[in-house]
Every structure is written in structure tokens, then in C-alpha cells.
Amino acid sequence: MPTGAGLGGGSSNAATALWAANQFSGCLATEKELQEWSSEIGSDIPFFFSHGAAYCTGRGEVCMNFGLTINLKTFLISFLSIADGG
């Protein structure tokens, strides 16, 4: 995703940079701390520390993970059916 496209590309890059810096420094910060710190940089960056699907409130910085499972086989069949016009 290009940065500035409104799809979270720049925010995901920032989250990845924070995560990598934490990893290279011996994991000094918890995931919760990374979420809190990242909200000071950008509103939607904390989302990229969530685990898959999340419900976000506030400016987008307050994230609550929730379980969302997708049956890949059903998804692909549905997607291919739509893409084929059927």
C-alpha cells in the first residue's frame, strides 16, 4: 500500500518500525506499551499491534481485539464466484 493512500500503509510501516526496534533491543516494551506509545505518533498505528480483527474507538487508538475466524475455502469459493460474475 502506498503511504498517503488512506489504507494504513504509512501507519503499518510505523508500527513495523516500532516493533522491529523493540525486537532488536531485547523486547523491553510490552505489546500494550507499544500500542500506547504508537498512539502518540498516529491515531491508527495501534491497530497494527492488534491480533487480526479489532474494534477501534476514540481517534482509532483504542483497540479491542475480537476473534474473527474465516473459513478460507468458503471465502475463496465465494470470491471466485463473485469475480466470475456468478
Q: Is residue 73 part of a domain?
A: yes
pLDDT tens figures, 15-69: 999 999 999 999 899 988 998 899 898 888 888 888 777 887 887 778 787 776 6
What CATH code is carried by the domain that includes residue 71?
Answer: 3.30.230.10
**Which of residues 48 and 79 earns the better pLDDT score?**
48
**Which of residues 76 and 47 earns the better pLDDT score?**
47
Structural domain boundaries, residue 28: 9-83
Q: Is residue 1 part of a domain?
A: no
As a three-state string, the secondary structure of 55-86 is: EEECCCCEEEECCCCCCHHHHHHHHHHHHCCC
**Cβ contacts of residue 22 below 8 Å, gap of 6+?**
28, 29, 34
Q: Is residue 3 part of a domain?
A: no
Number of domains in the chain: 1
Q: Per-residue pLDDT for 82 more than 80?
A: no
**Which of residues 38 and 10 earns the better pLDDT score?**
38
- Looking at residue 25, its pLDDT comes to 94
Tell me how far CA of residue 39 lies from CA of 6, 36, 49, 73, 86, in angstroms.
17, 5, 11, 36, 43
Q: Is residue 78 part of a domain?
A: yes
Q: Is residue 38 part of a domain?
A: yes
